[in-house]
Structure 1
Amino acid sequence: MSIRIILADDHAVVRTGLSMLIQAQPDMEVIDTAADGKEAFDKSVRLNPDVVIMDLSMPPGENGLSATARLKEAKPEINVLVLTMHDDEEYLFRILKAGASGYILKSAADNELIAAIRTVHQGAAYLYPSAARTLIQEFLHRVDQGKDLDDYQVLTEREREILTYIAKGYSNKEIAELLHVSVKTVETHKAHVMEKLQVKSRPELVKYALKKGLLDLE
């Protein structure tokens, strides 16, 4: 079964070139393209692709960073691979915080882009080598400084919100009604939270939330 892909870039020539490259792969299919973040979000919600390749900068429309964050809240099961010309630490951390599964430079070789698509489709993270080095250096710096590497910091805002509701005893259905999303969306966010926090049950989530003082949040 083919990996269903939506490609978002503000340059038509880039969309055409990348579409031809991807369509040439036996296990991939470009089901639609978009010229800005809003169009990418709308089409992704409607078509439910496996992977969205999202350009970071798409003036004058919505940028890829904003669209990625909105999409991961609405459809957390969709994997986003950010395509950018910026090999910059600031962009890297903002991209990961928005919920993207991968980050690759536009200057990357064709085979690296194809490998990145397959990686994020499998649910793993893909980072361009320079980005991976940046994360490792940041990790080592925090260790050297004696800082607490808190897993809570890697949760998205929506994941933190759902964790708090779980800790307060709300069911998945009740959380879905409160947040105006589907039960499946809540379950996907919950699974991501459990994976990031390395816990295996709802009671463990509640215990973690108590430790973090989340039950005091109103």
Structure 2
Amino acid sequence: MTLRLVLVDDHPVVRAGLRALIESSDDLQVVGEAGDAAAALAVIAETGPDVVLMDLSLGDGVGGIEATKRVKALPEPPAVLVLTTYDTESDILRALDAGAAGYLLKDVPPQDLFAGIRSVARGQPALAPSVAGVLMRRASSPEPRMTEREVEVLELLADGLGNRELARALFVSEATVKSHLSHIYTKLGVDTRAGAVAAAIEQRIIRR
């Protein structure tokens, strides 16, 4: 049985390379491609693929995580396999929460990519070793986990936002921001904003 794929990546050269690579396998066929979320949904509706290969950075600013949510909300959604350069905890967890069946990195060997495509098409997970490691460390760590909101605060801290700007961006009070920061500092074992950002990047909680 031939598995039908749609490629979603905002770089045409990457899509072309992926298409050539994937179609070197007898049981895989690329039936469409897109550079942003809106085009992806249109192509998926038109072609009805078995698997969507999804990058996390897309051209329309929507992003691969939100695009994955929209794909999985379709009446008969295909499996989504994330293929990206990002292996931070926040990206991995958000992608899987959005409904992705697998998460591979772009340095994956071709045969492992093909195996991952076949796995998610069968309803089985496909995770890069480093991604599986992140999930294992998170599951086994005795340390308190970052909440999704705390990760969001860390990402905004990394962008250089002050407390007032954080409050505005999150639609909360400055007192709530200070509370989030206090919890973040405790969990990371730091006492400054810069220290929190550095620790979060080092621990791959957020992107550099």
Q: What TM-score, normalized by structure 1, do the two folds share?
A: 0.62
Sort the Cα spacing of 1:21 and 1:140 in 2 relative to 1 into closer, same or farther, 3 A: same
User: May I ask how many residue pairs the two structures share in their alignment?
Assistant: 145
Amino acid at match of 2:105: L
Indicate conservation of the 8 Å contact 1:84/1:105, yes or no: yes
Partner in structure 2 of residue 118 of structure 1: 118
SS at match of 1:53: strand
Indicate conservation of the 8 Å contact 1:101/1:126, yes or no: yes
SS at match of 1:100: coil
CA distance in 2, matches of 1:55, 1:33: 12
Shift of 1:37: 1.6
Report whether the alignment pairs 1:42 with 2:42: yes
Cα deviation 1:159-199 (Å, max 9, x = unaligned): xxxxxxxxxxxxxxxxxxxxxxxxxxxxxxxxxxxxxxxxx
Report whether the alignment pairs 1:20 with 2:20: yes
Partner in structure 2 of residue 95 of structure 1: 95
Shift of 1:92: 0.5
| Unaligned segments of structure 2, at least 5 residues | 146-208
Shift of 1:112: 1.7
Indicate conservation of the 8 Å contact 2:71/2:77, yes or no: no
Shift of 1:134: 1.2
The CA RMSD measured in Å over matched residues stands at 1.8
Amino acid at match of 1:22: I
Amino acid at match of 1:51: V
Partner in structure 2 of residue 9 of structure 1: 9
Partner in structure 2 of residue 185 of structure 1: none
Sort the Cα spacing of 1:93 and 1:23 in 2 relative to 1 into closer, same or farther, 3 A: same
| Percent of pairs with identical residues | 41
Amino acid at match of 1:42: A
Shift of 1:45: 2.4
CA distance in 2, matches of 1:75, 1:52: 15
Indicate conservation of the 8 Å contact 2:35/2:59, yes or no: no
Sort the Cα spacing of 1:138 and 1:14 in 2 relative to 1 into closer, same or farther, 3 A: same
Partner in structure 2 of residue 31 of structure 1: 31
Runs of 4+ in 1 over 4 A off after TM superposition: 144-147
CA distance in 2, matches of 1:76, 1:99: 13
Cα deviation 1:110-152 (Å, max 9, x = unaligned): 22211111111111011111111111122222xx4799xxxxx
Sort the Cα spacing of 1:61 and 1:38 in 2 relative to 1 into closer, same or farther, 3 A: farther
| Unaligned segments of structure 1, at least 5 residues | 148-218
CA distance in 1, matches of 2:144, 2:97: 23
Partner in structure 1 of residue 176 of structure 2: none
Aligned pairs for 1:1-218 within 5 A: 1-75=1-75, 77-141=77-141, 144=142
Indicate conservation of the 8 Å contact 1:37/1:62, yes or no: yes
Amino acid at match of 2:19: S
Amino acid at match of 1:86: Y
